[in-house]
């Protein structure tokens, strides 16, 4: 076994330290953006970055950035990191694992006196989850120029506080436009898988090829209300019954099409919503995810075809709206190969896979060659206080991250 350069113990210390910055002690990690917990976590991260020899600043979108200058400072930056915000009652590893692994990689470079041609930056991004302002990937979208200053006043939290006010109170002079970058060559993000595949196969490293596109539909079914006792079965146009058939058809369609596509109905409402009246109005959501746009299209077209049949059969009117559409993202083949080479040299097992969850890497892929390293998480559980990754597994990911970023930062060419 090759001598490992990262420290399992230091990764554990960092994860445990950051897990303490939660507004729900004893009930998972809740660290919303621009809160006291976020401030304390940032202070810890800034200290660790500075100790790792990085020059630290907080950009105008609230992202903590630590820079290790390159021997040629004019060259574009190799960036690594992930997000530091969490969902409510989330785990200690989602996002944080990638931040901690990147800091550890920077520590190793600092201690070994590694000479990087390209500047290297470590980032702790925020509001990736969108838990506070209902619009995720703030840090990465600002870097990629996908969100502008208009959002500072448009986005509000549940208490009506605007993003601008929250950032000002946090001590930042908010300017999302100014956070845009055009000097990033590559971005590498380590993240827990948030699914069960790596653990089930006993594999150390996941090399992410595509991040699934997410298409959300709002389906409305209009029927006719009627008395539950006096309306004969054959004279009904029951909107809820028709909706139930569409939901079942959705499941059947996706199972049939396969190709890694998934669809979920997670929200439904029926009117008038009383036990003795036939429903005349039902609305439900369909969340479809797939690694290619053509698969997303295939799934929704098949669902719509089934809905037309059900519409006639149950004498209802069915309509589809598509309020949100996130395109699938293909990650860098070149960085995928570097992850593979590094994992192979270190003697780790690896597989190529897609990510069903969204990540900052989606936005970063717009402006830089982007790659993702997945590490296993126990039982595939995430966004939950039971989320867990063994520190030895995290260390393997950190070793690969270190190796990939070292290679990228020494390669010639932009």
Q: What Cα–Cα distance (Å) separates residue 410 from each residue in 72, 102, 115, 230, 270?
A: 10, 17, 8, 78, 59
Provide the minimum distance between the beta carbon of 248 and Zn ion in the complex, in angstroms, as a whole number. Answer: 32
Nearer residue to Zn ion within complex by CB, 116 or 210: 210
Report the nearest approach of Zn ion to the CB of residue 85 (Å): 9
- Taking the complex as a whole, how short is the minimal distance between the CB of residue 194 and Zn ion, in angstroms? 7
Which of 95/119 has CB closer to Zn ion?
Answer: 95
> What is the DSSP-derived secondary structure letter of residue 132?
T
Q: Which residues contact 48 (CB under 8 A, 6 or more apart)?
A: 14, 103, 107
Q: What is the DSSP string of 266-282?
A: --EEEES--TTB---EE
Whichever of 88 and 165 has its CB closer to Zn ion, that residue is 88
Nearest CA to 142 among 367, 349, 302? 367
Q: Which residue, 95 or 336, has its beta carbon nearer to Zn ion? A: 95
| Residue 210 or 237 having the CB closest to Zn ion | 210
Shortest CB 95 distance to Zn ion, Å: 4
Q: Cα–Cα distance between 119 and 129 in angstroms, integer?
A: 28
Distance of closest approach, residue 205 Cβ to Zn ion, in angstroms: 17
For Zn ion, the closer of residues 81 and 95 by Cβ is: 95
Angle at CA of residue 173, ends 171 and 177, nearest 5°: 140
Q: Which is nearer to Zn ion, 37 or 94 (CB)?
A: 94
Q: Output 194 or 250, the one with its CB closest to Zn ion.
A: 194
Distance CA 12, CA 22 (A): 17
Residues 80, 265: Cα–Cα separation, whole Å: 35
SS3 7: coil
Shortest separation between residue 383's beta carbon and Zn ion, angstroms: 9
**Min dist. Cβ of residue 293 to Zn ion (A):** 23
Strand pairing category for 268-271 and 77-83: unpaired
Bridge partner list, 50: none
Smallest distance from the beta carbon of 94 to Zn ion, in angstroms? 4
Q: Which residues bind Zn ion (CB under 5 A)?
A: 94-95
Quickly count: other Cβ atoms within 10 Å of residue 182's Cβ: 10
Name the residue nearer to Zn ion (CB basis): 211 or 254. Answer: 211
Cα separation, 287 vs 291, in Å, equals 14
Q: What angle do CA 296, 301, 307 make, to 5 degrees?
A: 130
Query: SS3 of 82, please?
Result: strand
Residues 188, 235: contact at Cβ < 8 Å? no
Give phi and psi for 82, each to the nearest 5: -160, -155
- Which of these, 248, 249, 222, lies nearest to 319 by C-alpha position? 222
Task: Provide the 8-state DSSP code for 333.
Answer: H
What is the nearest approach in angstroms of Zn ion to the Cβ of residue 148?
24
Least distance to Zn ion, CB of residue 87, Å:
9
CA gap 19, 130 in Å, rounded: 19
Nearer to Zn ion, 109 or 125 (CB): 125
The radius of gyration computed from the CA coordinates of the chain, to the nearest angstrom, equals 24
In terms of CB distance, is 191 or 245 closer to Zn ion?
Answer: 191
Task: Tell me how far, at minimum, the Cβ of 124 lies from Zn ion, in Å.
Answer: 12
Evaluate whether 339 touches 350 at the Cβ level (below 8 Å).
yes
Q: Locate 297 and state its tokens.
A: 């299209």
């Amino acid at each position: 076994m090759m001598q490992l350069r990262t420290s399992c113990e230091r990764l554990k210390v960092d994860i445990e330290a950051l897990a303490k910055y939660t507004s729900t002690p004893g009930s998972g990690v809740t660290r919303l953006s621009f809160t006291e917990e976020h401030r304390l976590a940032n202070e810890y991260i800034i200290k660790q970055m500075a100790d790792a020899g990085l020059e630290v600043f907080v950009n105008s979108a609230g992202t903590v950035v630590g820079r290790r200058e390159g021997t040629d400072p004019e060259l574009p930056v190799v960036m690594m990191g992930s997000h530091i915000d969490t969902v409510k009652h989330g785990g200690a590893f989602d996002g944080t694992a990638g931040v901690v692994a990147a800091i550890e990689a920077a520590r190793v470079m600092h201690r070994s006196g590694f000479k990087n041609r390209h500047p290297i930056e470590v980032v702790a991004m925020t509001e990736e989850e969108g838990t506070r302002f209902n619009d995720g990937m703030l840090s990465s979208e600002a870097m990629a120029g996908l969100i502008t200053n208009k959002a500072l006043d448009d986005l509000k939290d549940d208490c009506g506080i605007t993003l601008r006010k929250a950032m000002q109170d946090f001590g930042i002079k908010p300017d999302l436009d100014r956070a845009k970058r055009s000097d990033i060559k590559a971005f590498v993000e380590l993240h827990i898988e948030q699914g069960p595949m790596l653990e089930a196969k006993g594999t150390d490293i996941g090399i992410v090829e595509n991040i699934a596109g997410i298409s959300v539909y709002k389906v409305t079914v209009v029927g006719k209300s009627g008395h539950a006792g006096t309306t004969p079965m054959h004279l009904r146009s029951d909107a809820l019954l028709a909706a139930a058939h569409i939901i079942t058809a959705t499941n059947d369609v996706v199972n049939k099409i396969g190709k890694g596509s998934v669809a979920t109905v997670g929200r439904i409402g029926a009117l008038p919503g009383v036990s003795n009246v036939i429903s005349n109005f039902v609305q439900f959501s369909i969340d479809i995810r797939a690694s290619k746009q053509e698969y997303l299209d295939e799934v929704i077209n098949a669902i719509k075809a089934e809905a037309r049949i059900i519409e006639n059969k149950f004498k209802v009117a069915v309509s589809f709206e598509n309020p949100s559409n996130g395109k699938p993202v293909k990650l860098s083949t070149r960085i995928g190969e570097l992850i593979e080479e590094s994992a192979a040299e270190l003697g780790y097992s690896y597989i190529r896979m897609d990510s069903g969850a969204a990540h900052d890497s989606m936005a970063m892929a717009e402006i830089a060659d982007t790659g993702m390293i997945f590490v296993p998480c126990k039982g595939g559980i995430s966004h939950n206080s039971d989320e867990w990754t063994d520190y030895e597994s995290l260390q393997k990911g950190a070793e690969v991250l270190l190796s990939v970023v070292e290679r990228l930062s020494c390669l010639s060419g932009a």
